[in-house]
């Protein structure tokens, strides 16, 4: 991106078709994932407040644990896409199998850690005496599905790298339907209570993993790729994923610090923060879908030794990010009065959230470019830079956020700090994109 020549119209149209073909199904799959927790909450909520509170604690722990390993999808997408671009589908699927074997190993390690420590983890999270037993039950059972969840992440990365985002959409939707049906049947039909909800989720996740494995194994047999674990390949997958793990942990730390700061401001502020954060996360799905398209397209271009195509795709996706960000920002501004009553009837919470949502709306064009460039650099396998940039962002954000309550600032000031955080990310990612150092061609980086 050091130079910005005009992209021919035919090339723009080709990029647009590719972006839409990859991003739209990816967005559907991303939205389907949180529906698992939503369905569990709707079903368990009718059992009682203590059960719902227990589910809230356990699902938060599980979501955090699994999100830490999202690098399994990101790193696998980039590595597989490069091999696809080079024309070596056998090596691409072999690379994907290394990611899946790594997911199984990590899943087994998490189970070995969580099962004996379940009660202690729940207690450390601050669950009440009435909710803790239900949280422990749900966490203990659901942890058995973590290997399947991680396999789903890695296999999703394989298919994205193969330029296929439709299959993950179909699997996610089918998994959601199966999860809802199993939960209802086991919780009420079989009378298993919250344990039935946990078992339903485990079964649904295992079924999703089985479908993904069937798809990948079929592809491996078609192209003659080995299915056996390869120590060197698994180690390479772990090394590629480690910087992305650092990036993810830094981002999670930023979100946790923001929530902790909001909690110091009072009940109305923290309630409003939860509403704003929920919408911010939903908007992130739309922007992340473009980033996923970026991972797949950039990886393929670089694998095909097409540096010019990679730069052109990057520029076009940045334009998509800006346009999408502007559109989402306008939507937030227009929908604020309609959105807030869905979550609260408290006038104080509404007033607090209303101002913070305006900050979120104004920051969406920045977020659009950040998500796109994040995806571009992931697709290029530029994980070490992404890790360093996010650590720098965390270092800038932390003191600013902690000063907000000390200086008497409210939730609007906190979300201004969140916008500063996104601006720092924009600066670091733009500098890298502009330098062109991410453009490293070849089947491997």
Q: Tokens 């590629």 label which residue?
A: 240
CA atoms within 13 A on the CB side of 333: 12
State residue 6's pLDDT score: 60
Confirm if 153 and 73 have CB atoms less than 8 A apart: yes
Question: Who's near 23: CB < 8 A, 6+ residues apart?
Answer: 165, 289, 290, 292, 293
What is the structure's pLDDT at 288? 92
**Calpha distance 298→75 (Å, rounded):** 13
| Chain CA centroid to CA 140, Å | 24
- The token pair at 309 is 């195509």
* The pLDDT value given to residue 4: 54
Residue in the structure block whose two tokens are 């902690």: 402
Residue 198: predicted pLDDT: 93
Q: What contacts 345, CB < 8 A, 6 or more positions away?
A: none
Instruction: Give the pLDDT of residue 279.
Output: 85
Question: What is the pTM (predicted TM-score) of this model?
Answer: 0.89
The span from the CA of 49 to the CA of 130, in Å, is 9
Output the DSSP codes for 185-243.
IIIIIS--THHHHHHHHHHHHHHHHHHHHHHHHHHHHHHT---S--HHHHHHHHHHHHH
- 10-residue mean pLDDT series, the chain (445 residues): 61 86 90 75 84 83 83 94 95 95 96 91 81 92 94 95 95 92 93 93 95 95 93 93 94 89 82 84 89 95 95 94 96 86 80 91 96 96 96 97 90 95 97 96 89
Hey, how many other C-beta atoms are within 10 angstroms of the C-beta on 411? 25
* Residue 379 parent element (H or E): helix 347-379
Interacting residues of 388 by C-beta distance below 8 A, sequence separation 6+: none
Quote the CA–CA distance of 128 and 427 in Å, as a whole number.
43
Q: Which pLDDT does position 2 carry in this prediction? A: 47
Q: How far is CA 99 from the centre of its chain?
A: 17
């Amino acid at each position: 991106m050091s130079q910005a020549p005009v992209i021919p119209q035919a090339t723009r149209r080709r990029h647009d078709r590719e972006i839409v073909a990859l991003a739209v199904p990816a967005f559907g799959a991303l939205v389907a994932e949180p529906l698992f927790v939503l369905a569990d909450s709707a079903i368990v909520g009718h059992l009682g407040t203590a059960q719902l509170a227990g589910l809230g604690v356990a699902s938060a722990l599980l979501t955090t644990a699994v999100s830490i390993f999202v690098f399994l999808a990101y790193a696998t997408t980039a590595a597989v896409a490069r091999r696809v671009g080079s024309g070596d589908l056998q090596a691409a699927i072999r690379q994907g199998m290394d990611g899946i074997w790594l997911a199984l190993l990590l899943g087994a390690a998490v189970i070995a850690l969580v099962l004996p420590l379940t009660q202690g983890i729940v207690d450390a999270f601050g669950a009440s005496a009435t909710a803790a037993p239900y949280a422990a039950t749900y966490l203990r059972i659901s942890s058995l599905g973590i290997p399947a969840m991680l396999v789903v992440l890695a296999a999703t990365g394989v298919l994205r790298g193969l330029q296929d985002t439709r299959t993950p959409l179909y699997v996610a939707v089918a998994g959601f339907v199966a999860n809802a049906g199993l939960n209802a049947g086991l919780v009420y039909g079989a009378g298993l209570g919250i344990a039935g909800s946990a078992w339903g989720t485990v079964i649904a996740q295992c079924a999703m993993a089985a479908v993904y494995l069937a798809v990948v194994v079929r592809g491996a047999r078609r192209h003659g790729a080995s299915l056996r674990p390869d120590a060197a390949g698994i180690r390479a997958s772990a090394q590629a994923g480690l910087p992305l793990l650092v990036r993810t942990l830094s981002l999670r730390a930023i979100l946790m610090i923001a929530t902790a700061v909001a909690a110091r401001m009072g009940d109305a502020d923290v309630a409003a923060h939860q509403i704003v954060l929920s919408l911010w996360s939903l908007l992130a799905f739309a922007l992340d879908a473009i980033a996923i398209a970026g991972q797949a397209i950039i990886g393929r271009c670089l694998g095909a030794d097409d540096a010019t195509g990679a730069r052109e795709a990057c520029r076009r996706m940045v334009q998509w990010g800006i346009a999408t960000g502007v559109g989402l920002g306008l939507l937030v501004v227009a929908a604020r009065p309609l959105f807030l009553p869905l979550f609260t009837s408290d006038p104080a919470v509404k007033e607090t959230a209303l101002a913070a949502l305006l900050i979120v709306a104004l920051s969406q064009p920045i977020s659009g470019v950040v998500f796109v460039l994040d995806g571009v650099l992931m697709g290029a396998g530029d994980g070490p830079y992404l890790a360093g940039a996010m650590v720098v962002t965390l270092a800038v954000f932390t003191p600013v956020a902690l000063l907000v309550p000390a200086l008497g600032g409210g939730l609007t000031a906190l979300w201004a700090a969140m916008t500063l955080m996104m601006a720092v990310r924009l600066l670091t990612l733009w500098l890298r994109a502009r330098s062109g150092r991410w453009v490293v061609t070849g089947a491997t980086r």
